[in-house]
Amino acid sequence: MTPSDRDATGLLTKPDDFVQLVTATGERRPHADFDPWVADVDLGALGRLYRDMAIIRRIDAEATALQRQGELGLWPPLAGQEAAQIGSGRALRDDDFIFSSYREHALAWCRGVEPAELLSVWRGSAASGWNPFEHGMAVPQIIIGAQALHATGYAMGAAWEGSDAAAIAYFGDGATSEGDLNEALVFAASFDAPVVFFCQNNQWAISEPVGLQSKQHLARRADGFGMPGVRVDGNDVLAVLAATRIALDRARRGEGPTFIEAVTYRMGPHTTADDPKRYRTDEELAEWSGRDPLARVLALLDASGVDVAGLERDVKSEADRAAAELRAALTTITDPEPLSVFDHVYAEPNSHVDRQREHYARYLAMFDDTDAAASATAEGGVR
Amino acid sequence: MTALTLAKALNAGLRRALADDDKVVLMGEDIGTLGGVFRVTDGLKAEFGPKRVVDTPLSEAGIVGTAVGLAYRGFRPVVEIQFDGFIYPGFDQIVAQVAKLHYRSRGNVRMPITIRVPFGGGIGAAEHHSESPEAYFAHTAGLRVVACSNPADAYVMIRQAIASDDPVLFFEPKRRYHVKGEVDETASLADARPMGVATTIAAGTDVTLVTYGALVQTARDAAIAAAEDGVSIEVIDLRSLAPVDYATVEASVRRTGRMVITHEAGQQGGVGAELAAAITERCFEFLEAAPVRVTGHDIPYPPAKLERHHLPDLDRILDGVDRVLGRPNSMSGVEA
Ligand SMILES: Cc1ncc(C[n+]2csc(CCOP(=O)(O)OP(=O)(O)O)c2C)c(N)n1
């Protein structure tokens, strides 16, 4: 059997082989090391984590629908990964800096990114949606693994300045095969950088099962790089919260990096351009549906005597409102001006770009007051 | 003859290469079960098995670097880079290793590696998915760089690239993947036009218009539009960017006296710059005007809603033709 033939639900993804505080059916499991880190999470706080997850799930579904309706060029859905993202996102301090890839919409939510900022890139209207320094979150990364190095460098800088802020890098299981990611682990360990490597092992890198990237649990790699690795149930928001808090605490105390593997599942396609039916089974999907990160929190709250029906009702109306805001935000995203293609290529004036801008402006002006103006701006410039 | 899309023609060419030589192996991300994100390798893993059509871990340096080792061992790896913008993590292996090993080993080591790269924009894609990185490779000694533009060429050229004992960067115009054309699947490589030779797509007498990849079709359309205006354009599909078939371009420019080159990649240090310089050196006394380049701007590839303002289209090509003909154009009155 070749690695590529290995079943994604084989040894590598055994569900009980990780730290779990809340089971799939909503039972609270005690854990001596982790429990103290979430001792403050009372039923109200747990309800708020549920709220975050439900709203981001709704936003994600709405964005997926917007793509299907032709309003967005593309969307990478996060459904299934709500606990991994909210649990870690809610562990962060405002001055911690996030370096994410393209699927971490929930982190953007935690950081107060506006709906229009979130959508403009996926609509194809802007090269980046928000100012990283306003939200403590870098421009999302599409080049797999590159952000891990950026997070490491940021963390090194923070430490050198005597700050106790940390950086966190989000990436997938596939990313662990890239050189950049591995080089980031080396640098982080060498310099005791206050950085958290947060791997969302969602079992798939487009069509490739995690077993093709790694023969053993990803968290075990950390050891070889000289840092602790922890494997948590990525669908358990409490376990993720605890693991991230522990890692951040280590970072702040100058003890260096931590690698977290959050075991989760991408329920939808890789992006709206992908067809997962070509490479994965309905059974696998059904199995993971039974490990839903939201349902288990509700079950736990229910068993603890919380008015779950009331909570769900409130959260649903909030989520609907968030979805409506998202849709409404589209109308505020205007098509960029043609000459803006030349903006921001350089920070300082550049004679070469200036000349091209001037030339293109003259070119566009030729179409003014003629029918051809329409043709120059028609889709693809075809006439 | 069969009508095939460019993607299907490549698929047929790859199938034929796999069948003809068991040292040919395909490697890349998602090329097996999924058949590649553009389905160029569709069905090949089922047909040839996972040792001939290999889904690799997500690492471009890994894919190209192991292809080097496989080539040492006598294999002929055909590597797929999923999108143009993802070739850079493998760049070091390509330019520092693949390109130089034949030279460094004084001819003892062959690197018959084909690196397939879907390239160019116009499909409304996200960042890093629409780049035209060909000039980096054309600038690198030891690499052959080609670009196909139609199904018939794709079918033959991919097999020629695989059969070549040199490493070949094989650029596929992704926005033309779904365009159909007649392919002769019985064509033998022995009779085929070598991949290093350019093709004259349309004959003309006033201007030589040189291009490659996705813009070949646009250039052809421009020639038809110009003809209505009484301007006769000769269109050349360069096909090979390194080395360039100067004989074909020179012969044409000597007849027309004017050259326009168009490509999606930026102008600065691009394939067009090289061509303009070389043609000026070789055909100076035949030129009626300085060669004109119509290219993408020298900017990072813009967001989808702006790409039509970046990519050369028919109107911009015709404006370039007007420039080289000294007719009123967007640069009229501007000091060069
Ligand atoms: C360097 C690079 N190579 C290839 C790609 C194409 N690509 C985009 S996402 C992806 C799979 C990533 O999988 P993983 O790291 O597990 O993250 P996930 O999408 O599952 O969250 C690939 C191959 C890319 N974006 N960057």
Per-residue pLDDT of chain A in tens (383 residues, 90 and over written 9): 333 334 444 444 455 589 999 999 999 999 999 999 999 999 999 999 999 999 999 999 999 999 999 999 999 999 999 999 999 999 999 999 999 999 999 999 999 999 999 999 999 999 999 999 999 999 999 999 999 999 999 999 999 999 999 999 999 999 999 999 999 999 999 999 999 999 999 999 999 999 999 999 999 999 999 999 999 999 999 999 999 999 999 999 999 999 999 999 999 999 999 999 999 999 999 999 999 999 999 999 999 999 999 999 999 999 999 999 999 999 999 999 999 999 999 999 999 999 999 999 999 999 986 544 444 443 333 32
Evaluate whether residue B331 is within a structural domain: no
pLDDT tier, B334 (very low <50, low <70, confident <90, very high otherwise)? confident
**One domain for residues B71 and B170:** yes
CA of A144 to the centre of ligand 1 (A): 5
Does B241 lie in the same domain as B162? no
Q: Does the beta carbon of A204 sit less than 6 angstroms from any atom of ligand 1?
A: yes
Tens digit of each residue's pLDDT (9 = 90 or more) over A144-174: 999 999 999 999 999 999 999 999 999 999 9
Percent of residues, chain B, with pLDDT higher than 90? 98
- First-to-last C-alpha distance (Å) of chain B: 49
> Does residue B206 sit in the same domain as residue B74?
no
Sort out which chain B residues have CB atoms less than 8 A from A4's CB and list them: 32-33, 50, 54-55
Residue B332, in any domain of the structure: no
- Give me the mean pLDDT over the B124-134 stretch: 97
User: Is B336 contained in some domain?
Assistant: no
Answer whether A206 contacts ligand 1 (Cβ < 6 A).
Answer: yes
pLDDT of residue A379: 37
Residue B318 and residue B207 in one domain: yes
Spell B40-79 as b/e; 16+ CB within 10 A means b.
bbbebbeebebebbbbbbbbbbbbbbbbbebbeeebbbbb
Nearest residue to A23 (alpha-carbon basis) of A217, A237, A218, A231? A237
pLDDT value of position A368: 83
Same domain as B105, residue B26: yes
Side chain identity at B283, as an amino acid letter?
A: C
**Per the domain annotation, does B333 fall within a domain?**
no
Residues B219 and B83 in one domain: no
A207 contacts chain B (CB < 8 A): yes
Point out the residues of B that are catalytic.
129
- Residues B242, B182 within the same domain: no
Residue with tokens 């790089």: A225
- Measuring CA to CA, which residue among A222, A241, A196 is closest to residue A19? A241
> Residue B208 falls within a domain, yes or no?
yes
Dist CA B96 CA B79 (whole Å)? 17
Is B315 a residue whose pLDDT tops 60?
yes
Residue B298 Cα, ligand 1 centroid: separation in angstroms?
Answer: 27
Q: Are residues B49 and B183 in the same domain?
A: yes
| AA identity, residue B171 | F
Q: Which residue(s) pair with B200 in the sheet?
A: B236
Of the residues B191, B207, B224, which one is the last residue of a structural domain?
Answer: B191
Report if residue B25 sits inside a domain.
yes
Whichever domain contains B157, its CATH number is 3.40.50.970
Q: What spacing in Å lies between the alpha carbon of A312 and ligand 1's midpoint?
A: 35
Task: Work out the minimum CA distance from A290 to partner chain B, whole angstroms.
Answer: 26
Q: Tell me if B85 and A121 make a contact (CB, 8 A cut-off).
A: no
Q: Which of A230, A222, A224 is nearest to A247 (CA)?
A: A230
Q: Examine residue B136 and state whether it is found in any structural domain, yes or no.
A: yes
CA angle A91, A94, A99 (to 5 degrees): 75
Beta carbons of A238 and A22 less than 8 angstroms apart: yes
Measured CA angle at B189 (ends B185, B193), to 5 deg:
100
Q: Do B126 and A379 touch (CB under 8 A)?
A: no
Which of B166, B191, B216 is the last residue in one of the domains?
B191
Statement to judge: residues B11 and B55 lie in one domain: yes
The beta-carbon neighbor of A212 closest among B57, B308, B315 is B57
- What's the full length of chain B, in residues? 336
Residue A57 annotated as catalytic: no
B129: chain A residues, CB-CB within 8 Å: 142
Q: Cβ(A378) to ligand 1 under 6 A?
A: no
Is residue B20 in a domain? yes
A11 contact B CB<8A: no
Q: How far, rounded to the nearest angstrom, does the alpha carbon of residue B296 sit from its chain's CA centroid?
A: 15
Determine contact: A383 vs chain B, CB below 8 A.
yes
The pLDDT value given to residue B335: 67
User: Cα separations (Å) of A151 from A127, A128, A194?
Assistant: 21, 18, 9
Q: How far is the CA of B320 from the centre of ligand 1 (A)?
A: 39
pTM passes above 0.90: yes
Ligand 1 center–CA A277 separation, angstroms: 18
- Contact criterion met (CB < 8 Å) for A74 and B125: yes
> Is the CB of A105 inside a 6 Å radius of any atom of ligand 1?
no
Write out the two tokens for B217.
């079709």
**Structure token digits, residue A105:** 């919409």
Q: Phi and psi (nearest 5°) for B102?
A: -65, -45
Mutate to test the pocket of ligand 1, among A144, A183, A213 (most ligand atoms within 8 A of CB): A144
User: Taking 80 as the threshold, does the pLDDT of residue B290 lie above it?
Assistant: yes
> Which amino acid, one-letter code, is at A189?
A
> Does residue B187 sit in the same domain as residue B75?
yes
Instruction: Name the residue at shortest CA distance from atom 7 of ligand 1.
Output: A144
Q: What is the pLDDT of residue B333?
A: 87
> Which structural domain range is residue B321 located in?
199-325
Two tokens, residue A90? 């809610």
Give the minimum alpha-carbon distance from A36 to chain B in angstroms, rounded to a whole number: 37
Q: With CB atoms and an 8 Å threshold, state whether B311 touches A381.
A: yes
Q: Which residue from A267, A227, A230, A265 is spatially nearest to A245, judged by alpha carbons?
A: A230
Handedness of CA A364, A369, A372, A373 (dihedral sign): positive
- Judge whether A360 counts as a catalytic residue: no
Same domain flag for B165 and B224: no
pLDDT band for position B187 (cuts 50, 70, 90): confident
CB contact under 8 A, B124 and A124: yes
Domain boundary pick from B191, B226, B256 = B191
Could you tell me the CATH number of the domain that includes residue B274? 3.40.50.920
Task: Name, in order, each residue with C-beta under 8 angstroms of B29's C-beta and a sequence gap of 6 or more.
Answer: A205, A206, A208, B55, B56, B58, B63, B80, B82
Q: Mind listing the pLDDT tens digit for each residue in B82-119?
A: 999 999 999 999 999 999 999 999 999 999 999 999 99
pLDDT in tens, B12-46: 999 999 999 999 999 999 999 999 999 999 999 99
B58 lines ligand 1 (CB under 6 A): yes
Whether residues B123 and B235 share a domain: the answer is no
Q: How many independent structural domains does chain B possess? A: 2
| Backbone φ, ψ for residue B189 (5° rounding) | -65, -30
Query: Does ligand 1 come within 6 angstroms of the Cβ of B86?
Result: yes
Residue nearest to atom 21 of ligand 1 (CA): A172
Residue ranges of A 324-363 with Cβ closer than 8 A to chain B? 335-336, 338, 340-342, 345, 352-353, 356, 359-360, 362-363
